[in-house]
Amino acid sequence: MVRRIVTAVLVFVLCLLSLHGAAQEAPADEMQNQIRFVTAEWAHEVRGERDYDPNPTGVFSRNSRAYAYLEVEGFSVGKSGVGPIVDLRVDVVLRSNNGLKLYSQENLVEYTLHSPAEPPDRVWFYIWVDVPWWAPRTSYQAEVIVRDLVGETKVIESSPIVIE
């Protein structure tokens, strides 16, 4: 009787340990297949891939151009010859501090890649807005949404932007 109880307890503990190990491995697998931002920064100017002047404060003056430099990875890669192998769309939203949507635009950037020799691991892009001279001096919340049409997932980066 005691032997059966000890065996049952050992089997139960082994099951718990294997479930715990599987639970720890799952997020790593999911991270490999989930689109994510590697870089998302405000910039004073963007010249090319990884060639930009960061603006870590996100403060821009009226009547200037505000840039954002972004890189994503972890997007899905489709099968060659069955349509696009990489298909990303970038949307933007500008909200007031109270969450009121002031501006939005879908498909601001469209990145579609058909059957290259080797798909990229990372895609970079930048967006900008010309801040009008009459823009109210305040802080806003900017959202950049990257939609992975192949993997049917999306990632959202939200960051404050200040107009002085």
- Distance in angstroms (rounded) separating the CA atoms of residues 154 and 164: 32
b/e string for 141-153 if b means 16 or more Cβ within 10 A?
bbebbbbbbbbeb
Q: Give residue 12's pLDDT.
A: 35
pLDDT in tens, the chain (164 residues): 434 433 333 333 333 333 333 334 434 444 556 999 999 999 999 999 999 999 999 999 999 999 999 999 999 999 877 778 999 999 999 999 899 999 999 999 999 998 876 889 999 999 998 899 999 999 999 999 999 999 999 999 999 999 99
pLDDT of residue 118: 80
Pick among 3.40.50.1000, 2.60.40.3880, 1.20.1440.230, 3.40.630.30: CATH of 34-163: 2.60.40.3880
- Please tell me the predicted confidence (pLDDT) of residue 151: 96
Region for 101 from its dihedrals, namely left if φ exceeds 0, alpha if ψ lies in -120 to 50, beta otherwise? beta
Q: Which pairs from 46-53 meet CB under 8 Å and 24+ separation?
A: 46/126, 46/128, 49/124, 50/124, 52/126
Q: What is the pLDDT of residue 20?
A: 37
Task: Domain ranges for the chain, please list them.
Answer: 1-32, 34-163
Encoded tokens for 43? 């910039």
